[in-house]
Amino acid sequence: MQLVEPRPHRRLPIRMTPLIDVVFILLVFFMVTSRLAPTSQLQLDNDTRASAGGDGEPLPSLVMQPDGRIQWGDRLETPAQLARALTRAGESEVNLETDGQVSLGDFTAGLTHLQDAGITTHWQRSSGGTASRQEAP
């Protein structure tokens, strides 16, 4: 004895309106709860106060020029050459100053050479139009 009539074998249509509503609610939820951070920026240690080395001597001041070379006193060299010179001089920490004319690619390449040589770099943007010359080592 069969109490329920058999259903016909037709497909039930999927209603899209509730699915779209759920998708929009999830989208709003993730937009509100996520923190949007720019991925194209380089996070740096910007502690540029007049810091001193471990022995009380001031840190060498480097100035990056718009052409990508770095000035250390009277020397004007490529980042790779300067990294080797700083390593030979026993420097492990420096202050690097740039102005608004230095391209991001040149800055990143210079910073990479210094960090690859094991030199901790503190960076600051020059407050004036041009960076000032610093004392030679």
Total domains present in the chain: 1
E strand or H helix that includes residue 82: helix 79-88
Tell me which residue range forms the domain holding 75. 61-125
> pLDDT tens across 8-41, in order?
777 777 888 888 999 999 999 988 888 766 555 5
In a domain, 103, yes or no: yes
| Section 63-84 average pLDDT | 88
In a domain, 65, yes or no: yes
In a domain, 53, yes or no: no
Backbone angles phi, psi at 67, to 5 degrees: -85, 0
